[in-house]
């Protein structure tokens, strides 16, 4: 009796979903984050549904199996625009983003009421490295140190501390590709001494990010600047949402996302968001001057990372239509994490202000030999993938500094397909359509 | 009698505590081994998590105790010194010598360097 009453209560609660962010699967997750009744959680242990959003390359299927088996039972999987693993051939697959929230709620209700069975475990229920029981102290090795308990060597003091000489045992782990605090797809081998990153080796680059189709159209002919700039602001707001969630500022993260999806976001709302970020101390989190890029690195990352330290590299300033709107690139004069976030906020406000101005005067771009994407200039070649920079940038940083630095850098390559093609997101209405 | 009452109270409290923990777990299977592994987003740990951790404030604590004990002992000693004279000075000398070992150790660990 009591159990069925508890089950009914659990079925009515918000659906805890752990999202595995696959290729081009992020857009639908932004929409889910704003859907009432759905709760995106950061650990599989808090979830009842594993949502695989977007394709996962075959070489990362083993990692996906490990994440799948970390959900507590009963749990279910849902595959959004992704092919289920061979062992889960009968699992629910969906391609329609609008049907996703209802499908998640239905699955959760059925799971809680016992109408739906749990997803099967994919990995054998046995210790990954069985206990050997060797040694005087039963630690798997001989002598006091140097054993291999459960087949894994003891964390040993192999390298000198690079902070202040107080050496700790170093702990080596492989992170990703589905760790919520890293860009999706990024895998790295990290050696930690306490909270200090001793070494960082990037193994696989983040998945490509899709831009809105208006950036592709800008390379073929004139497009309304209002559309281009709103798409730019949306892109930066989504990145800001990610960073705010990482900082534990969930309400502000949702506020940033609401602004991104607002039909007509104004500069005043962006300024109000900035004021709230200042009040809650977001900029104080990143004032240690860490994550500093040198000039070559900044130029290689491009976009905001290049403009923040003062490199005025912006293709928009070559366009006569932008010059007519009195556009000048914003710069900050700092190459660290804090300067990049100040630059991001300033560029969001500038983009929304340009969009309002351009919409009033119906201004279109004039040059189509290149376009300044939110990720950097795109004319003869794409903005390049730069995740290998992390190998030099992150060692020596404490974990929180490293994560905020990583969130402030946009290192993923660009996808050859547009956001509308890859995510099924509705194409934003053009200025002409909105006027009509 | 009081001890017996206390024994029963401890027994009942422990029994209730264990019962409350056992009741919801009685139909729950143990989590599987993959479920018990640390969550690294699909990655694996390469070393055991059983690592030694340096308590960074340790030398500072040692120094605080060294000076604190010194002061705590010196106030009553000042009163006794009037009565005992040279004997009290020798005792204090021995005490300070032992305490200074801790200070010298802290010095070696770099506790006097501002970082």
Structural domain including B69 reads: 58-108
* pLDDT for B70: 83
pLDDT of residue A251 exceeding 80, the answer is: yes
Instruction: Considering only residues A28 and A432, tell me which one the structure prediction assigns the higher pLDDT.
Output: A28
Asked if residue B90 belongs to a domain, the reply is yes
- A-chain CB neighbours of B47 within 8 Å are 152-156, 170-173
Q: Are residues A46 and A193 in the same domain?
A: no
Which structure tokens are listed for A329?
């690139």
pLDDT of residue A241 exceeding 90, the answer is: yes
Q: Are residues A368 and A222 in the same domain?
A: yes
Structural domain including A405 reads: 213-435
Nearest to A166 among B35, B37, B54 (CB): B54
Asked if residue A137 belongs to a domain, the reply is no
Q: Are residues A171 and A258 in the same domain?
A: no
SS (H, E, C) chain A: CHHHHHHHHHHHCCEEEEEEECECCHHHHHHHHCCCCEEECCCHHHCCEEEEECECCHHHHHHHHHHHCCCCCCCEEEEECCCCCHHHCCCEEECCHHHHHHHHHHHHHHHHHCCCCCCCCCCCCCCCCCCCCCCCCCCCCCCCCCCCHHHCCCCCCCCCCCCCCCCCCEEEEEECCCCCCCCCCCEEEEEEECCEEEEEEEEECCCCECCCHHHHHCCCCCCEHHHHHHHHHHHHHHHHHHHHHHCCCHHHHHHHHHHHHCCCCCHHHHHHHHHHHHHHCCCHHHCCCCCCCCHHHHHHHCCHHHHCCCCCCCHHHHCHHHHHCCCCCCCCCCCCHHHHHHHHHHHHHHHHHHHHHHHHHCCECCCCCCEEECCEEECCCCCCCCHHHHHHHCCCCEHHHHHHHHHHCCCCCECCCCHHHHHCCCCCCCHHHHHC
pLDDT-based confidence at residue A431 (cuts at 50, 70, 90): very low
pLDDT-based confidence at residue A66 (cuts at 50, 70, 90): very high
> Could you tell me the mean pLDDT of each successive run of 10 residues in chain B, 115 residues long?
93 95 82 90 81 72 83 87 90 90 82 70
What number is the average pLDDT over the span A54-73?
95
Map tokens 């140190």 to a residue: A145
* pLDDT for B1: 82
Instruction: Considering only residues A89 and A306, tell me which one the structure prediction assigns the higher pLDDT.
Output: A306
* pLDDT for A423: 74
Rounded to an integer, what distance in angstroms lies between the CA atom of residue A196 and that of residue A191?
9
- B-chain CB neighbours of A166 within 8 Å are 54, 56
Q: What is the pLDDT of residues A188-212, one digit of tens each?
A: 999 988 888 999 999 999 999 999 9
Q: What is the pLDDT of residues B57-80, one digit of tens each?
A: 777 788 888 888 888 888 889 888
Q: Percentage of chain A surpassing pLDDT 70?
A: 88
CA distance to partner chain A, nearest, from residue B100 (Å):
23
Nearest to A60 among B32, B42, B49 (CB): B42
Q: What is the pLDDT of residues A264-293, one digit of tens each?
A: 888 889 999 999 999 998 888 777 788 899
Asked if residue B18 belongs to a domain, the reply is yes
**Is ipTM beyond 0.90?**
no
Q: What is the pLDDT of residues A381-425, one digit of tens each?
A: 888 889 999 999 999 999 999 999 999 999 999 998 999 888 765
What number is the average pLDDT over the span A68-87?
94
Asked if residue A146 belongs to a domain, the reply is no
Instruction: Considering only residues B103 and A305, tell me which one the structure prediction assigns the higher pLDDT.
Output: A305
Q: B44–A66: do the CB atoms touch at under 8 Å?
A: yes
pLDDT of residue A157 exceeding 70, the answer is: no
Rounded to an integer, what distance in angstroms lies between the CA atom of residue A286 and that of residue A304?
16
Q: Name the maximum alpha-carbon separation found in chain B.
A: 75
Rounded to an integer, what distance in angstroms lies between the CA atom of residue B16 and that of residue A395?
50
pTM for this predicted structure: 0.83
Rounded to an integer, what distance in angstroms lies between the CA atom of residue A14 and that of residue A36?
8
Reduce the DSSP state of residue B27 to 3 states and report it.
coil
Total domains in chain B come to 2
Asked if residue A145 belongs to a domain, the reply is no
- Cα Rg, chain A, nearest whole Å: 24
- Nearest residue in chain A measured CA to CA from B32: A125
- B-chain CB neighbours of A62 within 8 Å are 42
Q: What is the pLDDT of residues A326-378, one digit of tens each?
A: 999 999 988 999 999 999 999 999 999 999 999 999 999 998 889 999 999 99
pLDDT of residue A426 exceeding 70, the answer is: no
Q: B54–A176: do the CB atoms touch at under 8 Å?
A: no
Q: A194–B46: do the CB atoms touch at under 8 Å?
A: no
* pLDDT for A70: 95
Nearest to B48 among A62, A153, A176 (CB): A153
* pLDDT for A94: 93
* pLDDT for A89: 85
Which structure tokens are listed for B85?
């004279």
Mean pLDDT taken over chain A: 88
* pLDDT for A138: 54
Asked if residue B41 belongs to a domain, the reply is no
pLDDT-based confidence at residue A1 (cuts at 50, 70, 90): very low
- B-chain CB neighbours of A124 within 8 Å are 33
* pLDDT for A83: 93
Q: Are residues A260 and A386 in the same domain?
A: yes
Q: Which of A163, A180, A204 is the last residue in one of the domains?
A: A204
CA distance to partner chain A, nearest, from residue B67 (Å):
23
- Nearest residue in chain B measured CA to CA from A176: B41
Q: Are residues A220 and A97 in the same domain?
A: no
Q: What is the pLDDT of residues A102-121, one digit of tens each?
A: 999 999 999 998 889 999 99
Domain at A104, CATH number: 3.40.50.12280
Q: B35–A165: do the CB atoms touch at under 8 Å?
A: no
* pLDDT for B59: 74
Reduce the DSSP state of residue B24 to 3 states and report it.
helix
Nearest to A45 among B32, B39, B41 (CB): B39
Reduce the DSSP state of residue B9 to 3 states and report it.
helix
CA distance to partner chain A, nearest, from residue B45 (Å):
4
CA distance to partner chain A, nearest, from residue B112 (Å):
14
Q: Are residues A160 and A48 in the same domain?
A: no
In terms of Cα–Cα distance, which of A45, A34, A40 is closest to A19? A40
Q: Which of A162, A183, A204 is the last residue in one of the domains?
A: A204
Q: Are residues B102 and B62 in the same domain?
A: yes
**A364, β-bridge pairs:** A224
Q: A125–B34: do the CB atoms touch at under 8 Å?
A: yes
* pLDDT for A429: 45
- A-chain CB neighbours of B42 within 8 Å are 60, 62-64, 66-67, 176-179, 187
Residues 7-66 of B with CB under 8 A from A: 31-35, 37-54, 56
pLDDT of residue A5 exceeding 90, the answer is: no
Q: Are residues A394 and A354 in the same domain?
A: yes
- Nearest residue in chain A measured CA to CA from B41: A179
Q: Are residues A233 and A370 in the same domain?
A: yes
Asked if residue B99 belongs to a domain, the reply is yes
Question: What sign for the dihedral angle of Cα A266, A267, A272, A276?
Answer: positive
- Nearest residue in chain B measured CA to CA from A43: B39
* Contact assessment for residue A43 and residue A37, using Cβ atoms and an 8 Å cutoff: no
Q: Could you tell me if B113 lies within 8 Å of chain A, comparing CB atoms?
A: no
pLDDT of residue A36 exceeding 50, the answer is: yes
Q: B46–A172: do the CB atoms touch at under 8 Å?
A: yes
Torsional class of A20: left (φ above 0), alpha (ψ -120 to 50), beta (otherwise): beta
Asked if residue B39 belongs to a domain, the reply is no
CA distance to partner chain B, nearest, from residue A72 (Å):
7
Q: B43–A179: do the CB atoms touch at under 8 Å?
A: yes
* pLDDT for A32: 95
* Contact assessment for residue A16 and residue A49, using Cβ atoms and an 8 Å cutoff: yes
């Amino acid at each position: 009796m009591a159990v069925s009453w508890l089950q009914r209560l659990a079925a009515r609660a918000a659906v805890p979903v752990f999202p595995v962010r696959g290729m081009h699967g992020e857009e639908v997750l932004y929409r889910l984050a704003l859907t009432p009744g759905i709760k995106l959680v950061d650990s599989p242990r808090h979830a009842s549904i594993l949502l695989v959003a977007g394709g996962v390359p075959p070489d990362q299927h083993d990692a996906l199996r490990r994440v799948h088996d970390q959900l507590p039972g009963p749990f279910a999987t849902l595959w959004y625009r992704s092919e289920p693993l061979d062992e889960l051939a009968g699992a629910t697959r969906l391609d329609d983003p609008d049907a996703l929230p209802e499908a998640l709620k239905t699955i959760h209700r059925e799971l809680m009421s016992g109408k739906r069975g749990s997803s099967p475990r994919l990995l054998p229920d046995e210790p990954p490295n069985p206990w050997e029981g060797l040694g005087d102290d039963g630690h798997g090795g001989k002598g006091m140190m140097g054993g291999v308990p459960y087949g894994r060597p003891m964390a040993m003091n192999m390298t000198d501390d690079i902070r202040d000489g107080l050496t700790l045992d170093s702990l080596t782990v492989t992170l990703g590709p589905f760790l919520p605090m890293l860009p999706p797809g990024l895998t790295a081998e990290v050696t930690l001494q306490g909270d200090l990153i001793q070494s960082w080796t990037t193994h696989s680059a983040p998945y490509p990010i899709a831009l809105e189709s208006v950036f592709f159209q800008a390379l073929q002919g004139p497009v309304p600047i209002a559309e281009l700039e709103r798409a730019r602001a949306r892109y930066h707001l989504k990145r800001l949402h990610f960073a705010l969630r990482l900082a534990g500022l969930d309400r502000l993260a949702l506020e940033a996302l609401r602004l991104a999806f607002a039909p007509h976001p104004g500069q005043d709302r962006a300024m109000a968001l900035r004021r709230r970020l200042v009040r809650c101390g977001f900029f104080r989190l990143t004032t240690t001057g860490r994550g500093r890029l040198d000039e070559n690195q900044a130029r290689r990352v491009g976009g905001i990372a290049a403009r923040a330290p003062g490199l005025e590299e912006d293709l928009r300033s070559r366009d006569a239509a932008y010059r007519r709107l009195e556009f000048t690139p914003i710069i900050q004069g700092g190459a660290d994490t804090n300067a990049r976030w100040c630059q991001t906020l300033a560029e969001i406000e500038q983009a929304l202000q340009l969009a309002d101005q351009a919409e009033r005067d119906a201004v279109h771009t004039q040059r189509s030999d290149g376009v300044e994407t939110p990720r950097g200039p795109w004319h003869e070649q794409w903005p390049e993938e730069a995740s290998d920079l992390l190998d030099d940038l992150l060692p020596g940083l404490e974990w929180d500094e490293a994560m905020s630095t990583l969130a402030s850098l946009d290192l993923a390559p660009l996808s050859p397909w547009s956001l509308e093609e890859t995510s099924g997101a509705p194409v934003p209405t053009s200025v002409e359509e909105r006027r009509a | 009698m009081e001890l017996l009452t206390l024994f029963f109270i401890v027994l009942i409290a422990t029994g209730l505590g264990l019962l409350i923990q056992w009741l919801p777990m009685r139909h729950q299977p143990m989590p599987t081994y993959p479920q018990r592994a640390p969550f690294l987003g699909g990655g694996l740990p390469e070393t055991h998590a059983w690592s030694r951790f340096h308590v960074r404030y340790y030398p500072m604590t040692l120094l605080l105790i060294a000076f604190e004990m010194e002061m705590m002992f010196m106030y009553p000693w000042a009163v006794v010194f009037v009565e005992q004279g040279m004997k009290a000075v020798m005792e204090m000398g021995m005490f300070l010598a032992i305490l200074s070992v801790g200070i010298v150790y802290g010095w070696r660990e770099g506790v006097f360097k501002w970082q």
